[in-house]
Amino acid sequence: MEILMAFVIGILFMSATYLMLSKSLLRIIIGTGLLSHGAHLLILTMGGLKRGSAPLLGEHAEHYTDPLPQALILTAIVISFGVTAFFLVLAYRSYQELGTDNVEDMKGTEPND
Amino acid sequence: MSYLHLAIISPLLFSVFIPIFYKKFIRIHTGWFVLPLPILLFIYFLSTIPKITNRQTVTETFNWIPSLGVNFTAKVDGLGLLFALLITGIGALVVFYSIYYLAKEKERLNTFYVYLLLFMGAMLGVVLSDNLIVMYAFWELTSFSSFLLIGYWHEREKSRYGAQKSMLITVFGGLAMLGGIILLYIMTGTFSITEIVAQSGDIFHHSLFLPALICVLLGAFTKSAQFPFYIWLPDAMEAPTPVSAYLHSATMVKAGIYLVARLTPVFGASSVWFWLVAGVGIITLIWGSVFAIRQTDLKGILAFSTVSQLGLIMSLLGVGSAALHYEALSENIFTVAITAAIFHLINHATFKGSLFMAAGIVDHETGTRDIRKLGGLMPFMPITFTISIIGAFSMAGLPPFNGFLSKEMFFTAMVRVTQMDIFNLETLGILFPVIAWVASVFTFIYSMILVFKTFTGKYQPEKLDKKPHEAPLGMLIPPVILISLVVIFGFFPNLLSESLISPAMAAILPSLLNAGGEFVVHISFWHGFTIELFMTLGVILLGITLYKTLPKWKRMYDLVPEKLSLFRFYDRLLEWSQSGSYKVTNKYMTGSIHSYLVYILAFFIFSLTVTLFWKDAFKLDTGNVSSIGIYEWVLAIFVVVGSISILFIKSRMTSIILLGAVGYTVSLFYVLFRAPDLALTQLVIETISVALFLVCFYHLPKLQRYETRMRFKLTNALISVGVGAVVTAIALSAHGNKLFEAISKYYVENTYEKAAGQNMVNVILVDFRGFDTLFEITVLAIASLGIYGMIKLRLNRRKES
């Protein structure tokens, strides 16, 4: 399972990178979304998969899955949500003000030129 | 802090008061307040002569940074004293001269004297510091104050150009010297020159010896305007004439000479030192003298002549270092080179200082320094003419002036080079006297041009701005004092040998002296019909002939291609480095986020792949994996298909929905992998995210509604495939290399015992690792405040309305 997940994560990273290299701001943000999914799954996979029951003591199980990666991912999900939300509104505002979502058009002008 | 330290830094301290004097006493020329200081210092240094003559040194230490071995150790020995006397003596004369040269109504005298005092203190610090780091600090202060003085008339473009050029070149050399100092420290473990000299025998075969030598010499050559670094000196002539006389003939340009002399006991035994110092010196000598003839500006001629004479002194120091290879002082005929170097150093300071001052007078009283406009000034300026002719004759090496004596000694030293039997000098040594002789002929010619083109010939009043007349008395006193020294040293050359030259030689060649011994210096005016005398006669005869026929062969200079000139080379180098770095920067700083991402990701792929292969870290371990069920296959295929198809979707809406689908599948993964809290959070957050996406991009203004498919680009595809592959490879190898057990056992055991909870994830989030959660809350708060601000705050709109 871990090996399959490694390939799935690799494909998520690949699509995310390809999207982030595009010109459209929306696609870049979609890319960051995919990238954070990939990262979260990577953390979980590296902690080992399916080694026991859910980390709830009420289960009275012999083995539990590792709770620490789950706590880390939970924190990461919330943070990436906050950042994504901020980016989305930023993109929305820049679309409103500049009238474009092509990042190639968003170059500043250099004073030397 | 001793009197000696106080003497060194007194010019720096005193400079603070100059603006006060300038503002308070507006009627009195500020120079009068400055003048007593160098005179007092001169008297102070004179008072140490008896001690120095008895082969004692004055050493005072003032702790600065003892933990790093950097202490302000001031040491007066023969060499340091000689330079200190030059600096303070000529300093006093230059200040006196500048009082009459610079008008108090027109010039910003406060800045002038502050810079000049800064320079004086820095120069005293250079020659009297025994600690190399302190010396370096003062060394850079001389470069800096020289920069300020050259650019004194900063509204002129040429001044700024000259100041920048001298700064770039001397600071380049200064930094190289700092490198050499640090290498010396690595070899010897001390910054003290005295201690380094004591260890000079041990470091001779050290592998860093040669780099240190070259670095130190770069510093000396750039400061002393040696070939090919002399190019800053002619452009430094844009400075006011007192500055040129002081810095660029008598003191600062001799700092490099001082450095070479000071470190001769350390490096002098090496053949590289001999060839570099003597070779570069003699090339500079002939180069400077040949090109001096081409100049038409009085100060230009003097600048090239300074270059040439500095080359002469440098070559003498180089040749003199060979004396270290011969034992028995009584038979050592090679020390004469060092004697000649020191003697010529003094002589050059006297006659070059007076010549600069004379040129300044001519400029001041006629309004031009161009020898093509000048001529026939003798009847108007008899005193200036006398000063110039004595100075120029001394420079040309004519009897009975002091230049004659040092030139004779120079020839003696050069002839004796051919008798040396080291460093291949048996064969190559003959070049030295030949080049020296030819250079002396050219020296003779430009000295004659300097005097006779200015003061004799046709008087051309129509070309002059002012009616020429003799300078005021005050302006004449300093050059007259200097020129009388030229005559005095010419007739009584041994006046200085006992008090200054012999102790200075003892400082340069300490290893040749036994305890209590001293160098016997005797400069004789007449030494019989020797080969040197015939060489001088030849110089005079050929020089007169060539001077008479000057118009005929001066055209030869036009044959020298302008493109090959070192001045052009410097300019083009500067231009090229500017435009080159601008081009390079423009090449990669494109301003497009895409290309920066490409750099970052390409470097990511490159560095990780190389590390993986280098360390042989890739490892596929199939032993420790869990089984894959049908659900997992289905979900994995869902994620893969969903994320890849986003790339090919034209519509934005569809891609947003596909992103949501991938997110929900991920939360299903969390369910499968027994992470209920994650699954919950992921579901909720994915829903909100998708809603946000839709809000943002569905309700946008209708511009640019046309939707395009992403254009395929090979580089993007390659990079993204690379990133995916690298991440997979690292995930696989990380999984294969489990080094130790996880720490989660502790959480399983203690979640209920210690934290009274049953949900381990939640207990970790709020009990065991509650700080993470606190700041994650902060992140959300900041993000929401930021979003609120972005939407509400419209500063541009307010400005418009």
Query: B4-14 pLDDT, tens per residue?
Result: 888 899 999 99
Calculate how close chain B gets to A61, using CA atoms only, in Å.
11
Q: Is the pLDDT of residue B579 over 90?
A: yes
pLDDT for B76-119, tens place per residue?
Answer: 988 999 999 999 999 999 999 999 898 888 888 889 999 999 99
pLDDT of residue A49: 80
Contact yes or no for A53 and B674 at CB 8 A: yes
- With 70 as the cut, is the pLDDT of residue B800 above it? no
Chain mean pLDDT for chain B: 87
Of B670, B700, B728, Cβ closest to residue A7: B728
- Judged against a pLDDT cut of 70, whether residue B414 lies above it is answered with yes
What is the rounded distance in angstroms from the CA atom of residue B431 to the CA atom of residue B279?
10
pLDDT at residue B750 is higher than 80: yes
Long-range Cβ pairs for the range B768-772 (8 Å, 24+): B769/A71, B772/A71, B772/A75
Contact state of B769 with A71 under an 8 Å Cβ cutoff: yes
Residues B524, B205: Cα–Cα separation, whole Å = 40
Q: How confident is the model at residue B125 (pLDDT cuts 50, 70, 90)?
A: very high
Shortest CB distance from A71 goes to which of B674, B765, B786? B765
Q: What angle do CA B394, B400, B403 make, to 5 degrees?
A: 30
Q: Is B4:B75 a contact under the CB 8 Å cutoff?
A: no
Tokens of B250: 């008598």
What gap in Å lies between CA B438 and CA B433, rounded to an integer? 9
Rounded to the nearest angstrom, the minimum Cα separation between A19 and chain B is 7
Q: Is residue A88 less than 8 Å (CB to CB) from chain B?
A: yes
Candidates B597, B670, B671, B693: best to mutate against A (most CBs of A within 10 A) is B693
Contact A103 B773 (CB under 8 A): no
Q: Do A21 and B704 touch (CB under 8 A)?
A: no
User: Does the distance separating the beta carbons of A75 and B773 come in below 8 Å?
Assistant: yes
Could you count the other beta carbons within 10 Å of the beta carbon of residue B697? 20
Cβ neighbours of B644 (radius 10 Å): 15
Residue pLDDT, tens place only, B645-668: 998 887 778 888 999 999 999 999
Residues of chain A neighbouring B675 (CB-CB closer than 8 A): 44, 54-55, 65, 70, 73
Q: Which of B135-144, B488-497, B565-574 has the lowest mean pLDDT?
A: B488-497
Note the pLDDT of residue B799.
61
pLDDT of B588 strictly over 70: yes
**CA–CA separation, B62 vs A31, rounded Å?**
65
In this structure, what are the phi and psi dihedrals at residue B227, rounded to the nearest 5 degrees? Answer: -60, 135
Angstrom distance (rounded) from CA A39 to CA B142: 59
Token reading at B544: 């007169």
- For B522: left if phi > 0, alpha if psi spans -120 to 50, otherwise beta; the answer is beta
Instruction: For chain B, say whether A61 makes contact (Cβ under 8 Å).
Output: no
Q: How far is B356 from chain A (nearest CA, A)?
A: 44
A21 closest CB neighbour out of B594, B663, B675? B594
Contacts of B786 in chain A (CB under 8 A): 86
Q: Which residue type occupies B241?
A: T
Task: Judge whether B236 and B246 are in contact, CB under 8 Å.
Answer: no
User: Cβ contacts (< 8 Å) between A22 and chain B: which residues?
Assistant: 710, 716
- Please check whether residue A6 is in contact with residue A45, taking contact to mean a CB–CB distance below 8 angstroms: yes
Q: Which residues contact B387 (CB under 8 A, 6 or more apart)?
A: B354, B355, B357, B358, B476, B479, B480, B483
Confidence band (pLDDT; 50, 70, 90) for B703?
very low
Q: Using one digit for the tens of pLDDT, what is the confidence trace for B601-631?
A: 999 999 999 999 888 878 777 777 778 888 8
Rounded-to-10 torsion of CA B716, B719, B721, B724: -130
Query: What span, in angstroms and rounded, lies between the C-alpha atoms of A8 and B526?
Result: 100
Residue A75 to residue B681, Cβ atoms within 8 A: no
Distance from CA of A92 to the nearest CA of B (A): 6
Name residue B75's beta-bridge partners.
B59
Residues of A in contact with B672 (CB under 8 A): 50
> What local confidence, expressed as pLDDT, does residue B42 receive?
94
Residues of A in contact with B597 (CB under 8 A): 20-21
Give Cα A78 to chain centroid, integer Å.
11
Interface test with A, best of B583, B600, B638, B643 (most A CBs within 10 A): B643
B528-542 tens-digit pLDDT: 677 888 888 899 999
Q: How far apart are CA B597 and CA B603, in angstroms?
A: 10
pLDDT for B524: 64
Between B35 and B106, residue with greater pLDDT:
B35
Candidates B694, B763, B787, B799, partner chain A, best to mutate (most A CBs within 10 A): B787
Alpha carbon separation from B467 to B453, B460, B473 (Å, rounded): 18, 11, 18
CA distance B770 to chain A (A): 11
B73's enclosing H/E stretch is: strand B70-76
pLDDT of residue B444: 92
CB distance A2–B628 less than 8 Å? no
Q: In this complex, which of A8, A68, A108 lies closest to B744 when CB atoms are compared?
A: A68
State yes or no: ipTM above 0.90: yes
CB of B165 within 8 A of CB of B185? no
Do residue A55 and residue B669 have CB atoms under 8 angstroms apart? no
- Chain A: nearest CA to B647, how far in angstroms? 7
Mean pLDDT highest for which of B69-78, B292-301, B577-586?
A: B577-586
Burial class (CB in 10 A: 0-12, 13-18, 19+), B542: middle
Domain layout of chain A by residue ranges: 2-50+65-103
Contacts of B703 in chain A (CB under 8 A): 99
Q: Which two tokens stand for residue B555?
A: 């055209």
Indicate if the pLDDT at residue B572 is higher than 60: yes
| Cβ burial B310-347 (10 Å sphere, 16+ → b, else e) | bbbbbbbbbbbbbbbbbeebeebebbbbbbbbbbbbbb
- Do residue A34 and residue B732 have CB atoms under 8 angstroms apart? no
Q: Which residue has the tokens 């890849």?
A: B644
Torsion of CA B208, B214, B219, B220, to 10 degrees: 120
pLDDT at B700: 62
Residue numbers in A near B761 (CB within 8 A): 55, 67, 70-71, 74
Nearest to B677 among A2, A70, A99 (CB): A70
Query: Span B177-193, mean pLDDT?
Result: 93
Which one, of B216, B159, B149, lies nearest residue B187 by Cα?
B216
Strands (E), B471-620: none
**Separation CA A3–CA B194 (nearest Å):** 70
Interface size, chain A vs chain B, as Cβ–Cβ contacts under 8 Å: 266
Instruction: Output the pLDDT for position B167.
Output: 94
Give dist(CA B579, CA B780) in Å, integer: 47
Is A53 in contact with B669 (Cβ distance < 8 A)?
A: no
**Looking at the partner chain, which of B710, B732, B735 has a beta carbon nearest the beta carbon of A27?**
B710
Q: Is B246 helix (H, G, I), strand (E, B) or coil?
A: helix
Alpha carbon distance B700, B707 (integer Å)? 14
Question: Lowest-pLDDT range, B93-102, B374-383, B552-561?
Answer: B552-561
Q: Given this model, what pLDDT does residue B574 score?
A: 92
pLDDT category at B589 given cuts 50, 70, 90 is confident
* CA B268/CA A8 separation, integer angstroms: 71
The pLDDT of residue B198 is 87
Nearest CA to B123 out of B9, B3, B241, B264 is that of B9
Chain A interface test: which of B723, B738, B772, B797 (most A C-beta within 10 Å): B723
| Cα(B256)–Cα(B261) distance, integer angstroms | 9
Q: What is the pLDDT of residue B214?
A: 94
The CA distance from B405 to B394, in Å, is 9
How sure is the predictor about B329, in pLDDT bands with cuts at 50, 70 and 90?
low
Check if A87 contacts B (Cβ < 8 Å): no
Tell me which residues of chain A, numbers 16 to 45, contact chain B at a CB-CB cutoff of 8 Å.
16-24, 26-27, 29-30, 33-34, 37-38, 40-42, 44-45
Domain A2-50+65-103: which CATH number of 1.10.287.3510, 3.90.1150.10, 1.10.287.10, 1.10.3720.10: 1.10.287.3510
Contact A2 B735 (CB under 8 A): yes
* Ranges under pLDDT 70 in chain A: 50, 108-113
Structural tokens at position B763: 């207990």
Looking at CA atoms only, how far is residue A102 from chain B in angstroms? 10
What pLDDT is attached to residue B506? 84
Question: What's the whole-model pTM score?
Answer: 0.84
Residue to substitute from A4, A13, A90, A102, interface B, most B β-carbons within 10 A? A13
Residue B722 pLDDT exceeds 80: yes
Q: Which residues contact B772 (CB under 8 A, 6 or more apart)?
A: A71, A75, B765
Contact B772 A55 (CB under 8 A): no
Q: B778 or B651, which is more confident?
A: B778
> Is residue B425 scored above 80 in pLDDT?
no
Chain B residues in contact with A50 by the CB 8 A cut-off are 626-627, 672-674
Q: How far is the alpha carbon of A108 from chain B, nearest alpha carbon, in Å?
A: 8
Q: What are phi and psi of A63, to 5 degrees?
A: -125, 145
Q: Flag if B594 and A103 touch (Cβ within 8 Å).
A: yes
Higher per-residue confidence, A103 vs B348? B348
Q: Give B-chain residues touching A38 at CB under 8 angstroms.
A: 727
DSSP B768: I
Round to whole Å and give the CA distance between B303 and B301: 5
Name B297's bridge partners. Answer: B370
* Pick from A54, A81, A83: CB nearest B676: A54
